[in-house]
Amino acid sequence: MGMTGIQILKFLPKTNCGECGVPTCLAFAMQLATGKAELEKCPYVAEESKAKLAASAAPPVRPLTVGTGEYAVKVGGETVSFRHEKTFVNPPGLACLVSSDEAEASIQGKIDRFKACQFERVGLNLRPEMFALKDASNDPATYKAFVQKFMGLCDASLILICPNPDVMAAAMEVAAERKPLLYAVTLKNGPKMAKLAKDFGCPAVVRGDGNMDTVIKLTENLGKMGLKDLVIDTGTREPHRLYQELTLIRRSALATFRPLGYPTIVFPCEMASDLDNETLLSALYIAKYGSFIVMSDFQAHSLFPLLLSRLNIYTDPQRPMTAEQGIYPIGNPDENSPVLVTSNFSLTYFIVSGEIESSRVPAWLLVQDTEGLSVLTAWAAGKFNGETVGTFVKKSGIADKISQKKVIIPGYAAAISGELEEELGGWQVVVGPREASQIPKFLKTL
């Protein structure tokens, strides 16, 4: 990983000139070590030292972006093997394979389903981002026309799959503007394919032959050419072995073994007999170190579970997911429907709203911003008390939607009921159940 402040200090001029804005070189080194300062601020550091420091400070898995605009996919930048050790940073891109000889209706179906797969959840839009366009013609004009036509139908980010650099070159005349991922540089086509990636400034996949030494040789050679935006395909298509390889690649990257410090691409579409089994393998590589995942088809019933698992695995454990503060109507409530208030920890919101929904009693759910804390924790931290809840209920505007001024609070916050009645003035405060699972029973007997 990165150097310590003391290690960095050795590369600095040690003149304590202060021109970087920090009084001493040691203090500056400390800030560099924690990422608070930038090396550029020191006008006197030698070029050679600069290069060494930059290399050491580079993230262990190189970050790179495929595509432009709203479907751009950023991957890499990971710093841990297990999400709880810090967080996973950039979720893998999900791609669907399309072949240049595929029937038009089949391609159109995939594009339609791609566009329809947009799921709103806790303020995020869950959806796939990519298509992998595979050449089956080995003819420059055919592949170019295919890519061009596809780009006219769909804004997705692209992976161009084509072993022949001459064919790829033709497609790049139209595709370069979308910054596609080129698949792939191999030992065989290396020089020509790599030159294409370099000329167009696009990231490229290196494809190995199931032997990690081949991958290392390729990334090292391309690195010498100045090609840094690389993605690894080890060439392995056996799921278990590939999982082990990806684990070892992540370990090597974290140990700053640069030749393997790149994102990865996997092909469940070539590894399973049907879409159900592809879905399971995709789940595996979402959890364990895949950066681009190529499936044979997009179907909502397969994508939806994968998008949820991707959301869960890549949620920052240091920052709880939150629901937006506000009024949530559940089951078309009217002026006589009950009003419940809860915290904005996303799990609390999901569970409480789910239970209200399953009770089939229409209700108003008020979600208060507790900075992502659950009811009990928020109450203990003084963020869910008579004053905060009262202020929120008043400002929410719920009073205009109901005829009787009555609010139901969670059982765990029973202690605030007196204070809340005082704060609200003229409202009746009812203490609800402690556990969300009891809400249906409670609402039905209300």
Partner 1 sequence: MAFQPIKQKYTGAIKEVVLGKDDRAVKIGGRTAFPFLNFEGEFPNPPRIAMEVWDKDPSADWSDVAKAPFQGILSDPPAWAKKCVEEYGAELIVVQTKSADPNGDNAPAEQVAAMVKKIADAVNVPVIVWGVANHDKDTAVMRLVAEQCADRKLAIAPVEEGDYKQIGAACLGYNHTVVASSPIDVNLAKQMNILLGNLGVKENNLVIDPTTGGLGYGLEYSYSVMERLMQASMTQGDDKLQSPVISNMANEIWKCKEANLSAEEAPTLGDPEHRGILMEAVAAVDYLMAGADVLVMRHPQAVKLVRGFIGTMMSA
Cβ–Cβ < 8 Å for 254, 79: yes
Per-residue string for binding with partner 1, 42-81, x by CB under 8 A?
Answer: ----------------------------------------
Count of alpha carbons within 13 angstroms of residue 210, beta-carbon side: 6
Q: Are strands 64-66 and 73-75 parallel, antiparallel or unpaired?
A: antiparallel
Eight-state DSSP code of residue 39: G
Cβ–Cβ < 8 Å for 362, 333: yes
Spacing of C-alpha 125 from chain mean position: 11
* One residue of 27, 174, 327, 347 binding partner 1 per CB under 8 A: 347
Residue 143 in the binding site for partner 1 (CB under 8 A): no
Q: Where are the alpha helices (H) located in 235-313, listed in sequence order?
A: 239-254, 275-287, 300-313
Single out the segment in contact with partner 1 by CB under 8 A; choices: 54-62, 99-107, 190-198, 252-260: 252-260
Q: Are strands 181-185 and 204-207 parallel, antiparallel or unpaired?
A: parallel
CA distances from 228 to 205, 208, 239, 263 (A): 11, 17, 27, 11
Single out the segment in contact with partner 1 by CB under 8 A; choices: 18-26, 35-43, 155-163, 279-287: 279-287
Residue 276 in the binding site for partner 1 (CB under 8 A): yes
Count of alpha carbons within 13 angstroms of residue 381, beta-carbon side: 11
> Nearest 5°: CA angle at 201, between 195 and 203?
85
Residue 350 in the binding site for partner 1 (CB under 8 A): yes
Residue 252 in the binding site for partner 1 (CB under 8 A): yes
Least distance from C-beta 8 to partner 1, angstroms? 25
Residue 147 in the binding site for partner 1 (CB under 8 A): no
Q: Name the token pair of 108.
A: 């159109």
Least distance from C-beta 221 to partner 1, angstroms? 12
Residue 411 in the binding site for partner 1 (CB under 8 A): no
Residue 239 in the binding site for partner 1 (CB under 8 A): yes
Residue 209 in the binding site for partner 1 (CB under 8 A): no
Q: How far apart (Å, rounded) are the C-alpha atoms in residues 167 and 160? A: 11
Nearer to partner 1, 231 or 303 (CB): 303
* One residue of 308, 327, 376, 399 binding partner 1 per CB under 8 A: 308
Nearer to partner 1, 53 or 321 (CB): 321
Closest listed residue to residue 389, CA positions, set 406, 371, 365, 369: 369
* One residue of 26, 58, 311, 430 binding partner 1 per CB under 8 A: 311
Residue 319 in the binding site for partner 1 (CB under 8 A): no
Residues lying near partner 1 in the complex (CB under 8 A) are found at 82-84, 116-119, 121, 212-213, 216, 220, 238-240, 243-244, 247-248, 251-252, 255, 257, 259, 276-277, 279-281, 283-284, 287-288, 299-306, 308-309, 311-313, 315, 317, 347, 350-351, 354, 357, 437-438, 441
